[in-house]
Amino acid sequence: MNARPARSMVVDSHNDTIVGLLRRGGESLAGPDAPARPNPEGAIAFTRSPLDSTAPPIQLNLPKLRAAGIDVAYFAVDVTRARNNHLSYALDGIGWFLEEVAAHSDQIAIATNIGEIHRANTDGKIAAVLAVENSEVLERSLSVLSALYRLGVRSLTLTWSYRTWAADGEQASHSGGGLTDFGRDLVAKLNELGMLVDISHISDAGFWDVIEASSGPVIGTHNCCRALCEHGRNLTDDQIRALAATGGVVGVTFVEPFVHPTAPTLDLLLDHIQHLADIGGIDCVGLGSDFDGGGELLPDATHFPRIAAGLSERGWSDGDLENLLGLNHLRVFAAVCG
């Protein structure tokens, strides 16, 4: 089943595992048999309903990352549901995760630049990139962005699907709203600091404003193709071309409604990957599962090799698979984050 080229690195550009573990009582990143790290008074545990024993297992943790051959994972905290508590919610999740990484430092390390990713790989560790989903975390302060950068955050999703201070999300696309003045300042600050600008969830008008405003590559950490599935979270062919022209990359996601409205399959997911490569070129395609946040087309991370196997059967070369699996994401990370 494993058609991964022998020398390739594998990158997953989006998961929601931090919140998923906290909602499972602080289940360890090392797996459910390792000692838990409960945080019952933290913002996430207090705000979100806990998941009981009937909940499906976590989709991504250290044993599953290793079984999948994933070398780099972007761990995001989505602050959308915090409602007037965005920053403390993010810090709660990031702080808890940093303690987990410290407890399992023989297996995982935070990476803030490409050198740290390669060092982790050389040391046999998973590289974790910290991300925040939804710029409401900033509470309209670019100084907060600078503080998050110092904590190690290297990727920011500008919106969720609703309207934010920075821009309209895709569910507000009917308004025609794009980036606000604050949103333009935010994109400029992300470029200045060396942080990834993530357009996942943004409105169509906002997308085009970001393309115009950003001086560096733009990414979509978890998206699919609107030509194959009419959903506001998916990118049009013109958007794919424009994002690719920035030198950016799209992480194709495993969220079922983005793959097909009624009958998503692995083959249809592979169709989205192929379409992105056909429209934007092989250099703009990556993987962004959205595990533990809706990416349920594959049961968990251990099924990652099925993607490479399926594309190999379709005639993809080892070189193209290497680009898809990780080299494209790594190229953009190096260009933006150093």
Which H or E run includes 22? helix 17-22
Q: pLDDT class for 7, splitting at 50, 70, 90?
A: low
**Average pLDDT score, the chain:** 96
Phi then psi dihedrals of residue 221, to 5 deg: -75, -25
Residue 217 domain-assigned (yes or no)? yes
Please tell me the predicted confidence (pLDDT) of residue 278.
98
User: What share of the chain in percent tops pLDDT 90?
Assistant: 93
Residue 99 in domain: yes
pLDDT score at 1:
43
Token pair 């404003």: residue: 209
Q: How many CA atoms lie within 13 A of 293 on its CB side?
A: 23
Q: What is the predicted pLDDT for the residue at 6?
A: 53
C-alpha distances (whole Å) from 120 to each of 94, 111, 276, 290, 304 are 19, 8, 30, 23, 20
Residue 6 inside a domain? The answer is no
Residue 238, domain CATH: 3.20.20.140
**Exposed (0-12), middle (13-18) or buried (19+): which is 66, by Cβ within 10 Å?**
middle
CB-CB contact of 69 with 305 (8 Å): yes
Structure confidence by residue, pLDDT tens digits, 160-173: 999 999 999 998 87
The mean per-residue pLDDT over the stretch 2-15 comes to 80
Structural domain includes residue 5: no
* pLDDT > 50? residue 10: yes
Number of domains in the chain: 1
Cα–Cα dist 91/147, whole Å: 11
What is the per-residue pLDDT for 161?
A: 93
What is the reported pLDDT for 176?
Answer: 82
Distance CA 90, CA 145 (A): 12
Q: Quick one: pLDDT at residue 171?
A: 84
Average pLDDT over residues 47-72: 95
What is the largest distance, in Å, between two alpha-carbon atoms of the chain? 52
Q: Give residue-wise pLDDT tens across range 181-203.
A: 999 999 999 999 999 999 999 99
User: Could you tell me if residue 2 is inside a domain?
Assistant: no
Residue pair 324/285 in contact by the 8 Å Cβ criterion:
yes
Domain that holds residue 222: 11-337
- What is the band of 299 on the pLDDT scale with cuts at 50, 70, 90? very high
- Asked if residue 226 has pLDDT above 90, the reply is yes
Does 4 reside within a domain?
no
Cβ atoms of 137 and 111 closer than 8 Å: no
SS3 312: helix
User: Can you give the pLDDT at residue 84?
Assistant: 87
Class of residue 162 by CB neighbours under 10 A (exposed 0-12, middle 13-18, buried 19+): middle
Residue 2 has pLDDT above 80, yes or no: no
**Would you say residue 1 lies in a domain?**
no
Q: What is the pLDDT of residues 26-35, one digit of tens each?
A: 999 999 999 9
Highest average pLDDT, of 33-42, 44-53, 148-157, comes from: 148-157
